[in-house]
Every structure is written in structure tokens, then in C-alpha cells.
Amino acid sequence: MTANNPLLVFDLDGTLADTADDLVATLNAIMANEGAPPVANAEARNMVGLGARKLIQLGFGAAGRTVSPERLEELFAEYLDIYEANIAVHTKLYPGVLASLDRFAGAGYRFAVCTNKSERPALKLMNALGVSNRFRAICGQDTFAWCKPDARALRATIEKAGGDPAHAIMIGDSKTDIETAKNAGLPVIAVDFGYTDIPVRELGPDRVISHFDELWGAVAELRPRA
């Protein structure tokens, strides 16, 4: 790959893969261990895109409880252990992902992941889904000294993938992803089926898609700017 090869940088949860059921199940295992009531799946789905620590805080907040910073770190470690042991029980790639990657790869595109999931579970999940070898870089919240929406996390991901920001496009599902791309000066495509309590069309992405079959056309429209 040369730096001139176009690079598509994907978020993971809510963009490439529907991970909510496994993430919420992990949260509720933690809640049960702490004697707190479970959080309904429908209520928690929009929380999962904010990262595990925030998910834990929101889950306990919904139960009328607060968690100290020290206890939060302990619960976060427990969360990762439980989640990684059950990382792809219900999780699946969204429809059209594999066909879309095949089409773009055939046209010379390369791929990376920039997620606020920790790197270790991100890699483990991508392996479990059988797609890790398709991506030049899989970067998580703890890969660099910065994480989304800091533009440096996205730029560092592009660099690790051997790409060039001038030939890269971000694809995500949330305010965080859209802000990250804008902060980095990259075009951004939002999927409207992910995890956000604000409709993505209201967040100002360059394009919105409702299925991966639409990604080719959206990228083609933005490519001259990339």
C-alpha cells in the first residue's frame, strides 16, 4: 500500500458490527453482581457507543446509584473480563459489510478501524468475526495517548495504516465519530442504524447511509474531496 491508496476508517460498535446485545448483557452481569437491577436493552442501546466506563456509569445512574472513580476502574476491569469471555455471542457484522469491503478492496481501497473500544477487545472481536485480516490497523481507545473525538487519534490510525489523511474518509454512527472526522478535516459518512440518541442527520455528516450497499455511492461522491 502507498499513502495514495484511498483509506476508509471505520468505527466498530454500531458501524461495522451490531454489538449492543453483548455489551448490554455484560453491563447487566455487572449490575447483578452489584445487586442492582438490570437495564433494559432498548434503554441501553444508545449508551453503548459512549464506551464501557460511561456505560457502567449510566447503568448505575439509571438504578439511582453512583460509582466512585476508584470503583469505576474496578468495575471496568470486571466488565472487560466478562465481555471478552462472551465477545461474540450475539454480535454480527451488519448486512452488506463483507460485500462492501470486497468491492472497495477490488478497487484498491484499504481499511482501518478507529474505535473507542479498548484495543484488546476490539482485536478479539474482529478476529471472532473473521475480518481482522482485512484491516491495516485496528486502533482502540488505549492504542494512543488520545482517543476520539481528538483528531490525533484518527490521524494516528491513518498513519499506522500507512495512509494519508488527504485520501481518507471516516465512517461512523455517532456524534463522536462525526466530531472526530471534522476535527481532523476529513469527510465523514454516518450510518443511521447505529448507537446514538441524536439522529445522525442532525449532526452534520457529509453523507448518511442506511445500508452498506449505499457506501460505494457515498464514497464516490466524496472521493474528489478526500
Ranges of each domain in the chain:
7-18+91-225, 20-85
Tens place of pLDDT per residue across the chain (226 aa):
455 689 999 999 999 999 999 999 999 999 999 999 999 888 888 778 778 898 999 999 999 999 999 999 999 999 999 999 999 999 999 999 999 999 999 999 999 999 999 899 999 999 999 999 999 999 999 999 999 999 999 999 999 999 999 999 999 999 999 999 999 999 999 999 999 889 999 999 999 999 999 999 999 999 854 4
Distance CA 100, CA 15 (A): 13
Q: Is 150 a catalytic residue?
A: no
b or e along 79-112 (b: 16 or more beta carbons within 10 Å of the residue's beta carbon)? Answer: bbebbeeebbeebebbeebeebbeebeeeebbbb
CATH superfamily to which 7-18+91-225 belongs: HAD superfamily/HAD-like (3.40.50.1000)
Among 11, 18, 173, 206, the one annotated catalytic? 11
